[in-house]
């Protein structure tokens, strides 16, 4: 488990456990009073705040970053506003769809581009493998009858066929605890070979750095959620928001009675019988009857909470990680794929593991930018470097695979979610055994502190999970007010 980036816990909390929070933080610059303080202006915190305001509750949202959205991030300086977080959402995201309608956020149907997304060039060990050669290629580890499948399409049917979870909340049922083992162990038990796991999962993992450090339960939950969404969506795969998905939290924040206060780096939360205090690094103190905290556990573990949280929830705070994932967004100077006659989409076992041609123009055929996804072990390696060195290493690998692209693309944005001090990774990463150990307790209230964020969601994942969790936290507060 890696330490979180940014300010270290030791730096902030040296000696703090022996003295009151306020004294440890020095002079108080300002004191602010509200009925409820919401920490974090992502989807979960904003949804909680809006629901409370609808009931007449005085709410103040504070945010460590200088923007709203949390882990929803649209790259507005890149052609087509591609996403670095929160890439798309389905029609079955009822809460998210509702706020889009309420705040008049325009939606773009991405269904027409899905066939283009699923069509990729396979590159192994730096060499492109044409589709016609793959079924008989020496590096193809698939059994007879399956050799025609590309690596990115092989595992999901196996997972789906053997998925025992039928409802969105089944992952929390103790009867399913036997699936809270590593994905690797579960797949091997199904007869999947080591070679297949390495090729199909470990090179570009959706969760974890390899199949060894993610619980099969998390992957099964994700698959169940996707299948439910597919049924709800019908023929529509999903949407993005006009201007980028960050337009959604921006519209939500614009609907609040009080504006979000930015650049508030929370380092302490103290509660007592009469209320709660939130302490920020700049000396600002917020007072309220209740606090709703949307920080992921990878960040919350750096915050001093008084009284301390122990038991299963304390274990969650100290050990639940967030997914490492990095992205490079490239603006296009010239369509190099027309010159070399190759697919702009790539799946590889190199550093630039997945390259996606973003199609956010007027027609699905229009390529507006490229996104390079760096996942798993490659992402953790990139996070040991500064941004300049990381980008250089990624682009060197990309140019080795696609030499025709040299001089015809330019780096427009780079984002490492792990090196973002207010997320320390992207979505929650449930390791083997963690679901059984503390998933049922991770969202429990701690006195006057209530928790939200996608890691506390019960039946949904991603952006809808965040919305679900904010709703629950708001209802908790309303039940106690």
Q: Which of 328, 481, 326 is nearest to 412 (CA)?
A: 328
Q: What is the pTM of this model?
A: 0.92
- Residue 90: what are its φ and ψ, rounded to 5°? -95, 165
Residue with structure tokens 């609907």? 255
CA distance 393 to 390: 5
Q: Is CATH 3.90.660.10 correct for 111-142+324-416?
A: yes
Cα separation values, 203 from 61, 111, 235, 269, 367, Å: 39, 27, 31, 40, 25
Residues 325, 375 contacting (CB under 8 angstroms): yes
Residues 107, 259 contacting (CB under 8 angstroms): no
Position 32 scores a pLDDT of: 80
Q: What CATH number does domain 9-70+244-321+430-480 carry, 3.40.50.720, 3.50.50.60, 3.90.1150.10, 1.20.1250.20?
A: 3.50.50.60
Domain ranges in the chain are 9-70+244-321+430-480, 111-142+324-416, 154-233
Q: Which of 388, 405, 281 is nearest to 331 (CA)?
A: 405
Q: Are strands 59-62 and 266-272 parallel, antiparallel or unpaired?
A: unpaired
Answer whether 9-70+244-321+430-480 and 111-142+324-416 agree in fold.
Answer: no
Helices (DSSP H) in 112-239: which residue ranges? 114-117, 155-161, 183-189, 194-197, 216-233
Position 22 scores a pLDDT of: 38
Name 159's Cβ contacts closer than 8 Å, sequence gap at least 6: 219, 220, 223
Residue with structure tokens 């959604």? 248
CA distance 174 to 170: 9
CA distance 337 to 353: 18
Q: H-helix or E-strand containing 297?
A: helix 297-300
Collapsing DSSP states into helix, strand and coil, what is residue 472?
Answer: helix
Segment 390-396 long-range contacts (CB within 8 Å, at least 24 positions apart): 390/326, 390/414, 390/416, 391/328, 393/351, 394/326, 394/328, 394/351, 394/352, 395/328, 395/352
CA distance 445 to 291: 10
Position 480 scores a pLDDT of: 75
What pLDDT tens digit does each residue of the chain (481 aa) get? 444 444 333 332 333 333 343 333 334 444 589 999 999 999 999 999 999 999 999 999 999 999 999 999 999 999 999 999 999 999 999 999 999 999 999 999 999 999 999 999 999 999 999 999 999 999 999 999 999 999 999 999 999 999 999 999 999 999 999 999 999 999 999 999 999 999 999 999 999 999 999 999 999 999 999 999 999 999 999 999 999 999 999 999 999 999 999 999 999 999 988 899 999 999 999 999 999 999 999 999 999 999 999 999 999 999 999 999 999 999 999 999 999 999 999 999 999 999 999 999 999 999 999 999 999 999 999 999 999 999 999 999 999 999 999 999 999 999 999 999 999 999 999 999 999 999 999 999 999 999 999 999 999 999 999 999 999 999 999 997 5
Name 286's Cβ contacts closer than 8 Å, sequence gap at least 6: 31, 32, 33, 34, 37, 60, 62, 277, 278, 280
């Amino acid at each position: 488990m890696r330490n979180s980036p940014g300010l270290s816990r030791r730096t902030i909390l040296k000696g703090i456990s022996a003295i009151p929070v306020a004294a440890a933080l020095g002079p108080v610059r300002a004191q602010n009073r509200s009925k409820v303080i919401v920490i974090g202006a992502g989807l979960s915190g904003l949804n909680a705040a809006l629901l409370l305001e609808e009931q007449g509750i005085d709410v103040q949202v504070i945010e460590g970053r200088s923007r709203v959205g949390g882990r929803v991030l649209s790259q507005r300086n890149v052609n087509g506003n591609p996403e670095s977080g929160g890439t798309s959402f389905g029609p079955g995201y009822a809460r998210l769809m509702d706020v889009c309608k309420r705040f008049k956020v325009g939606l773009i149907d991405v269904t027409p581009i899905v066939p283009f997304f699923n069509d990729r060039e396979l590159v192994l060990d730096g060499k492109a493998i044409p589709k016609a050669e793959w079924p008989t290629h020496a590096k193809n580890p698939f059994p007879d009858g399956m050799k025609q499948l590309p690596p990115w399409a092989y595992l999901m049917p196996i997972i789906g066929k053997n998925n025992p979870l039928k409802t969105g909340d089944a992952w929390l049922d103790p009867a399913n605890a036997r699936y809270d083992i590593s994905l690797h162990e579960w797949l091997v038990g199904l007869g999947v070979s080591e070679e297949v796991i390495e090729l199909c999962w470990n090179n570009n993992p959706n969760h974890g750095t390899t199949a060894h450090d993610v619980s099969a339960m998390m992957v099964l939950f994700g698959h169940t959620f996707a299948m439910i969404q597919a049924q709800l969506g019908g023929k529509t795969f999903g949407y993005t928001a006009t201007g980028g998905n960050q337009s959604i939290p921006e519209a939500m924040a614009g609907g609040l009675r009080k504006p979000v206060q930015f650049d508030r780096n929370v380092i302490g939360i103290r509660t007592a019988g009469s209320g709660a205090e939130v302490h920020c690094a700049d000396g600002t103190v917020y007072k309220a009857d209740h606090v709703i905290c949307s920080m992921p556990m990878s960040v919350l573990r750096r915050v001093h909470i008084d009284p301390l949280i122990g038991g299963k929830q304390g274990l969650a705070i100290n050990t639940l990680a967030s997914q490492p994932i990095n992205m490079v967004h490239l603006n296009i100077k010239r369509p190099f794929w027309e010159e070399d006659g190759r697919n702009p989409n790539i799946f590889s076992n190199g550093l630039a593991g997945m390259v996606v041609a973003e199609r956010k123009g007027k027609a699905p055929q229009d390529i507006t930018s490229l996104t390079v996804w760096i996942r798993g072990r490659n992402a953790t390696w990139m996070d040991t470097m500064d941004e300049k060195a990381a980008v250089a290493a990624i682009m060197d690998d990309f140019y080795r695979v696609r030499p025709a692209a040299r001089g015809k693309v330019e780096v427009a944005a780079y984002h490492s979610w792990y090196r973002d001090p207010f997320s320390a990774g992207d979505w929650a990463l449930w390791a083997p055994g963690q679901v059984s150990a503390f998933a049922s307790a991770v969202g429990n209230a701690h006195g006057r502190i209530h928790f939200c964020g996608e890691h506390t969601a019960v039946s949904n994942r991603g952006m809808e999970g965040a919305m679900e969790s904010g709703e629950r936290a708001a209802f908790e507060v309303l039940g106690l007010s």
